[in-house]
Homo-oligomer: A and B are copies of this chain.
Amino acid sequence: MEVAVVAIGTELLLGQIVDSNSARIGQVLAANGFSSHLQLKVGDNHERIVAALELALSEADAVITSGGLGPTQDDITREAIAQVSGRPLKEDARVRSVIEGLFAARGRTMSVNNYRQAMVPEGATVIEQRKGTAPGLIVPVGEKVIVALPGVPYELDDMLANEVLAELRARRSDTTVIQSRVIRTWGLGESTLAELMAPRFEALEGSAVTIAFLASGIEGVKVRFTAAATDAAVVLGLLDEEELRAREVLGDYVFGVDDETLEGVVARAALDKSLTIATAESLTGGMLASQLVRVPGASTWFRGGVVSYARSVKEDLLGVVAPSVVSPEAARAMAEGVARLVGADIGLSTTGVAGPDELEGQPTGVVWIGMSANGRSAARRVQLLGDRERIRTYATATALDLARLTLSGSSRGFELG
C-alpha cells in the first residue's frame, strides 16, 4: 500500500524550519511495511495545497499531511481538504467543547482563532487532540483517504502511532512485510565503509535485501539493510544474517544497531561494570556531559562534570599544570582531576581548538581526548575538519567512542590496565 506525505507550510519551502515531520512519518510507514515514494512540501497557499493533495491522491492510496491545522490565520489545510474531498466544513460541537475545556483547565481565555480548529469536513473522523488544541482529521476521498495531522511533532507522533496506523492497517490489502535494520558505525569514512561492504553489496544485487550507506554526522556512518518478504519471520532472518555478516567485516567499528547511540552504549557498559563517570570539557563546553545525560536514568552512573573553559578553571579546579592547554598532559590531568573532584571511577576529557581562531599557536580542529580509570590515564590526538559546531560535535562523539572502545576492552581503545 502506497502512502504519500505532504508537509504543509511556507516556512518549510523557505527553509526556516526543516521538515522533520516527513522523516518521522517515513520512519513509521517503513517500519510498518507501507511504501512511500512521494513526499513533498507545499506552502500556505490554497490552490497549491489543493494541487499537491490531488497529485498525492493520484499517486497513492492514502495521503498524510502535516501542518496547517493551527489556530493562526495562515493555517488553511482544513479548507483545502474540504475542497479536494468535496466535504464542506462544519463546526464540530465535541471538538469545540474539548478546546474550551483545555483553555479553562489552563486558566486561559480562548481566542477567537481557536474556534477555527473546531471546523471539520463533513463525514470526516476526528482524531482527538490529547496533547494540543488541534484535532487530527481522517477524511475519506472516494476509495482513498487523506489523514491530516498537526505540525507540532509532539502532537503528530501521538496520533500517527495510534489512530493513523490503525486506519492504514485497516485499509491495507497486500501483506508484504518490509523492514530495515541500521548498523551504526563510528570511525570509518563512508567510502571506506562502502568498499569494505562491496562484496556483500554485489552479492545482494537482485535479492530481497537492499543496502545503503548514510553519512550521518555525529551519529556516525550508517549501513541500512532493508528486506522484503511476505513473512515477518523471513524478513527478520534475512536482517539477522546481514547484521552478522556486517559485524564480521566491520568489527568494533560497529557500536550498535537501529536506535542505539554511542552514549547509550557507554551507559550500558558503565552500568554492567558498576562504574561511575565524570567529564571535564574545554572546547565541547558541556556537550559531552549533555549527551550522556540524554540517557534516562543517567544518575545511576553519571556523577557530573566540569566545563573548564577558562584556563584558570582547568588549573585551580582540575589541577592542570601543563604548559599548553591543548596537549596530552592537559587532557590527562583534566580527566584525572574531574574524577578525583566529583568522586567518579572514570574521567573523560576534551581539550582542543574549536575555532574560528587558532589557540596557543595550534590550528583549528586539533583535539585531545583524555580518559582516566584506576588512577591511570591516557590521551589521544584527533584532527577534525569543519566549522566550530562541527568540530565540537565530532570531538564529543569521538570521546564517547573512545570511552566505549576502552570499556569493551577493544585494542582501539585506551590502555588503562
The contact of A190 among B26, B72, B112, by CB within 8 Å, is B72
Interface residues in A270-325 by Cβ distance below 8 A to B read 279, 281, 283-290, 292-294, 296-299, 302-310, 312-313, 317
CB-CB under 8 A from A302, the residues of chain B are 285, 309-310
* Interface SS of chain A: mixed
Stretch at the interface among A87-95, A191-199, A371-379, A407-415: A191-199
Write the nearest CB–CB distance from A42 to chain B, whole angstroms. Answer: 7
Chain A 156-195 against B: per-residue CB contact (8 Å), 1 yes, 0 no? 0000000000000000000000001010000000111011
CB-CB under 8 A from A290, the residues of chain B are 284-287, 290, 392
Number of interface residues of A (CB under 8 A): 102
Write the nearest CB–CB distance from A104 to chain B, whole angstroms. Answer: 15
Write the nearest CB–CB distance from A142 to chain B, whole angstroms. Answer: 23
Interface residues in A10-52 by Cβ distance below 8 A to B read 10-20, 22-28, 30, 36-44, 48
- By beta carbon, the residue of chain B nearest A151 is B215
- By beta carbon, the residue of chain B nearest A318 is B304
A311 to B211, CA, bound (A): 47
Interface check A222, CB cutoff 8 A: yes
CB-CB under 8 A from A42, the residues of chain B are 37
Beyond the given pairs A22-B41, A72-B194, 18 more chain A to chain B contacts, judged by CB atoms under 8 angstroms and listed by A's residue number, are A12-B23, A14-B26, A14-B30, A14-B224, A15-B30, A16-B27, A16-B214, A17-B216, A18-B20, A19-B19, A70-B190, A70-B191, A111-B192, A285-B290, A286-B307, A299-B310, A304-B313, A317-B342
Binding site for B on A (CB under 8 A): 9-20, 22-28, 30, 36-44, 48, 70-74, 111-114, 133, 152, 154, 180, 182, 190-192, 194-195, 198, 201, 210-216, 222, 224, 226, 279, 281, 283-290, 292-294, 296-299, 302-310, 312-313, 317, 341-343, 354-357, 386, 388-390, 392
When A and B form their complex, which 4 residue pairs have the shortest distance between CB atoms, in order from nearest? A285-B293, A286-B286, A286-B289, A15-B26
